[in-house]
Amino acid sequence: MSAVKKWTVFSVRAALDAKTISARELTAEFYSRIEKRNPELNAYLTLSPERAYAQADRVDAMRASGKPLPPLAGVPVAIKDVISTRGIRTTCASRMLEDYVPPFDATAVARLEDAGAVILGKTNCDEFAMGSSNENSAFGPVRNPVALDRVPGGSSGGSAAAVAAQLAVGALGTDTGGSIRQPGALCGVPAMMPTYGRVSRYGLIAFASSLDRIGPFATTVSDIAAFLAVISGRDENDSTSASVPVPGFFAEMQKPVEGMRIGIPAEYFGEGMDPEVRQKVEDGIEVLKKLGCRTVNLSMPHTDYAIATYYIVANAEASSNLARFDGVRYGLRVDGSSLREMYENTRGRGFGTEVKRRIMLGTYALSSGYYDAYYLRAQKVRSLITRDFTEAFKKADVIVTPTSPSPAFRIGERIDDPLAMYLSDIYTVTGDLAGVPAISIPCGVTSDRLPIGLQIFAPAFMEARILQLARAFEGATGDSS
């Protein structure tokens, strides 16, 4: 297949300013690409051409009138299908919400559109964002555009695949245990999880409320910064959004990285990592050292408990959040002879296997007699994991690790082994539990040409520092576009 033009936020602006393309023409180009490739990738579940072309026409009218264009003018973007979009079907990749159309936009979506972005449609994902491979979608798996027999990662696999295949310039995903960074690594695109509270969760259909975050995928680190600058900031509709000023990411990114302290935690380089992943990440650390960074060896001793802690906390919150899907107010309803039977019929048919598994595990962890032994203890360990990060950042400015212990695995390879699937997130769940920001950036490929990701953590609300280092790495490795 011939290569398609790789558009970025900045090349779109340049083309609009030079009048070599209109926003409507660019939108049509992307819909043409989607028509050709989406049947094999299954990255998009719903397209929104009427809304997209109306927005493109508004941008073109602004340009024709000589008005200054907003920062994302005409940029085609995709939205993960767990984020509410007014008038556009929002399914959470579940039969439970197969026909649900929200009456409002999520704050992040509204901010993108206010900045001129063109919403192309909604991307496939694991059902209710529960999964690491995008195989749990009720509407079929997404295929990795790099290798069609491989998973794109999850749960935001459709968003990662859409950007990697250039079916969108950028996309929003969500990260609860690695669901932005892991698919970014497996598809070979930059993918950012901001600090908890940096981006409003208003309009995000909740999986685990103390963990869920919205963040961007893009083809370059500069584009990540462009999207993050638009969607960040306090939102009165979300009490968990932070009243922390949004810095000038682009100005911060220009600063030199020489002298930056790079923390290397021993626990993230243990057994179970693919040898090629280890080698490429170690090579990436050498690149950072050549840029003038200084490595610091760290120990984060509670890392080994992160997966168990995460799957207690996240599943407990999921069991509570998903109780609202009962067939009474909205979504699927399967009637029965009694209220209880209606609940059972609705939830039995509406939820897939993995969602049912997590609801049951979470309900058990919260049940009388087990709350202290499981949920309360997990919250205490979560505090210890957070303290590991706090102590590490006293010695290092950032922490660098692999994103995923392996490259993209084959579709079907782990679907019947939940533990093996859960371990895909072993290097990412810690950041979610601690509330800190992180990015995955490409750092080479395996001998089979499968992408590998390098992960950078920073202290809370220090996304600018992450972007600064990520941009320097991208420039040094020649991966920027």
Concerning whether 155 is annotated as a catalytic residue, the answer is yes
**Nearest CA to 461 among 222, 220, 253, 193?**
193
Q: Residues 155, 156, 222, 319: which is the catalytic one?
A: 155
Q: How far apart are CA 66 and CA 69, in angstroms?
A: 9
DSSP string, 183-215: HHHHHTS-EEEPPTTTB--TTBPPSSTTT-EEE
Q: Which amino acid is at 461?
A: F
Of 162, 7, 12, the closest CA to residue 72 belongs to 12
Asked if residue 155 has a cis previous peptide bond (ω within 30° of 0), the answer is yes
Q: Which amino acid is at 256?
A: P
DSSP string over 363-429 = HHHHSTTTTIIIIIHHHHHHHHHHHHHHHHHHH-SEEEEES-SSSPPBTTSSTT-HHHHHGGGTTTH
Please give the Cα distance from 312 to 292 (Å, whole number): 41
179 is annotated as an active-site residue: yes
Distance of alpha carbon 152 from its chain centroid, rounded?
Answer: 12
Q: Is 84 considered catalytic here?
A: no
Catalytic residue of the set 156, 179, 222, 440: 179
Rounded-to-integer distance, Cα 6 and Cα 219, Å: 8
Q: Name the residue type at position 141.
A: P
Residue type, 341: E
Nearest-5° Cα angle at 157, 359 to 146: 145
Which is it for strands 213-218 and 170-175: parallel, antiparallel or unpaired?
antiparallel
55 Ramachandran zone, left/alpha/beta (phi>0; psi -120 to 50): alpha
Q: Are 249 and 203 a contacting pair, CB within 8 Å?
A: no
Which among 22, 80, 132, 156 is annotated as catalytic? Answer: 80
Cβ atoms 170, 216 nearer than 8 A: yes
With DSSP H G I counted as helix, E B as strand and the rest as coil, what are the percentages for the chain, rounded to 5? 45, 15, 40
Q: Could you give the residue numbers annotated as active site?
A: 80, 155, 179
